[in-house]
Amino acid sequence: MSEETTGVATSDPTKGEIGILERRRIEAAIIAPLYEQMREEIGEEKAQAILERTIRAAAIAAAKGFAERTPGGTSLSTFRDLQALWTKDDALTIEVLVATDQQFDYNVHRCRYAEAYEEMGLGHIGHLLSCNRDSVFCQGYDPRIQLERTQTIMGGASHCDFRYRLVDETEGGTP
């Protein structure tokens, strides 16, 4: 049955979306020459600061878009469902440690995002192009979701440690 016949929203917020790895490659190809021009004109530090702010704002906007298309409202469970876009095309090799309504913990053991940026000669800003988005994306999607991550492959670690929590405001969380 379709949404039209049941009157119930059944849309999948990931429907019609390309995988995030492919999206990041396309974005990086566009960003690279702009970033290089900024770097030449205003210096590495200022160019990276502009890139960081811009990417974070784009992540929040993208997350809000996903949230608006999530039937029934957002939760850690619906957030977890979005993971399919980040792992699509074998982009990440992950080990899920905990997946509940309140907690989603996993480790990334292979990150093709990092590999792609290295191949494109953008390894030095890969953390700004991808890792920089993670904590603000979850906040844009649902302010109750918080991420703690202490290391990334992009930063030279053996794995990335993602630890998401659904924090209730009454429990002293800062959504």
* pTM of the model as a whole: 0.84
Query: HEC string of 53-86?
Result: HHHHHHHHHHHHHHHHCCCCCCCHHHHHHCHHHH
Residues 33-59 pLDDT 10s: 999 999 999 999 999 999 999 999 999
**The two structure tokens encoding residue 97:** 């440690």
Overall average pLDDT of the 122-132 stretch = 95
Which of 13-22, 53-62, 80-89, 97-106 has the lowest average pLDDT? 13-22
